[in-house]
Amino acid sequence: MKKIVFLTGTRADFGKIRSIILSLINLKKFKVDIFVTGMHLLHRYGYTIEEIKKVGIGRLHKFSNQDNNYDKEVRMDEILSKTIKGFSKYVKKNKPDLIMVHGDRLEALAGAIVGAYNNILLGHIEGGEVSGTIDNSIRHAVSKLSHLHFVSNNTHKRRLIQLGESKKNIFVIGSPDIDIMISKDLPKIEKVKKIYKIKYKNYSILIFHPVTTEVNKLRKQSQILFDSLKKSKKNFIIIYPNNDLGSNIILSEIIKNKRYEKFKILKTMRLTYFLTLLKNADFIIGNSSAGIREAPFYGIQSINLGSRQNNRFKNPIIKNVDFDKSKIIKTINSIKRKKKFSPNKYFGSGNSSKKFIKIIMSKSIWKTRIQKNFIDNSYFDTTS
């Protein structure tokens, strides 16, 4: 049996790999481990390893890459270094045949670096995408260290080819979380509201993450955002940000407004419950990828703030707004409650897990060369 290990550091990346892990386990042809680290082990963010346990998948290996000292400034380079050390020890002991990472987080980069220096096959989910933060560079760096690429669409495939990746090792499978999004087993909204004690009949969702390259602007941006939400007099479900540099600034603004009657604040949500909440929301606001990827798939309008998701996906359903109070309020008021749009399938339409399984079952995949070559697709004028 081949050994496959998945790295997860946040509720978001676990949502992307969950359906694939479940399919692999049900297949019973691979040994599947999950290396759990990052936000999953921080009580401030809901200690979401418990949510992974509830799903009941795989063998979990816990590694804390940061402490719970909330007053300490986040040093992402130090967390990266610690993650590399911890995952390196795991790899030397367990000797996986394939490392699977997702997206653009530092945990993915740590997994890619450890895999590269230990000559282990590396698979990357959702590479080839673009955004407006340091995540953009991290994502491309992970792609350059990866051997196998599982992308959302042909646009992302073309970008990887531009980066010099081999066409034969790039597979379009769609975004794996759509498998869960279209599931008939999602909980009813009544159950979600009961469990999370949400009393609002109508509501919208706020998820606002720090942009590490603009952390000097973050306090002002947070104040503008929360003042705008209160001025709108609408109900908002506010979910904690990720734990990047600057998260303390956003959290201080959230805590300052925790008694405001039109705000329901949650540290985290179980993925399936969040999807139901999103599906029934008036709109989502902030700078989370959920407003760019998941919301349009459900036909839910999105207000995207600032630069974090720059160039990721453009669609009339997504309204891009700067941090200007009057513009934010005007945009919020322009959205008609419960107006749904046709689902957008730019990031896929489901069955990602089946496509992944078909690829991973191929004998040729396991013969992929560890030593990579840059595939030069540029045009050279040989006469000059």
Picking from 5-9, 37-41, 352-356, 375-379, which range would have the lowest pLDDT averaged per residue?
375-379
Q: What is the pLDDT of residues 306-324, one digit of tens each?
A: 988 877 778 889 999 999 9
pLDDT on residue 69: 66
Give the pLDDT band of residue 343 (cuts 50, 70, 90): confident
Which residues on neighbouring strands pair with residue 116, listed in sequence order?
A: none
**156 versus 337: which is more confidently predicted?**
156
Confidence check: pLDDT of 74 > 80: no
**Residue 339: per-residue pLDDT:** 66
Which pLDDT band holds residue 71 (cuts at 50, 70, 90)?
low
pLDDT at 384 over 50: no
3-class DSSP state of 244 = coil
Cα distances from 173 to residues 125, 139, 311, 349, in angstroms, run: 9, 18, 21, 9
Q: Where are the alpha helices (DSSP H) in the chain?
A: 11-27, 49-55, 76-94, 106-117, 134-145, 154-162, 177-181, 189-195, 218-232, 247-256, 271-279, 294-298, 325-334, 352-360
d(CA 75, CA 66): 9
The percent of residues in the chain predicted with pLDDT above 70, rounded, is 96
pLDDT of residue 382: 47
Cβ atoms of 211 and 287 closer than 8 Å? yes
Q: What is the set of domains in the chain, with CATH numbers? A: 2-181+349-367 (3.40.50.2000), 189-334 (3.40.50.2000)
CA dist 5 and 16 (Å) reads: 15
Beta strands 301-305; 283-286: pairing state? parallel
Residues in the chain: 384
What is the rounded average pLDDT of the residues 220-230? 97
- Tell me the pLDDT tens digit for each residue of 43-66: 999 999 998 998 888 799 999 998
Separation CA 197–CA 51 (nearest Å):
18
pLDDT score for 309:
84
Tokens of 349: 């339409």
154 token code pair: 């042909």
Lowest mean pLDDT among 225-234, 237-246, 258-267, 309-318: 309-318
pLDDT tens figures, 182-205: 999 999 999 999 999 999 999 999
Cut 0.85: pTM above it = yes
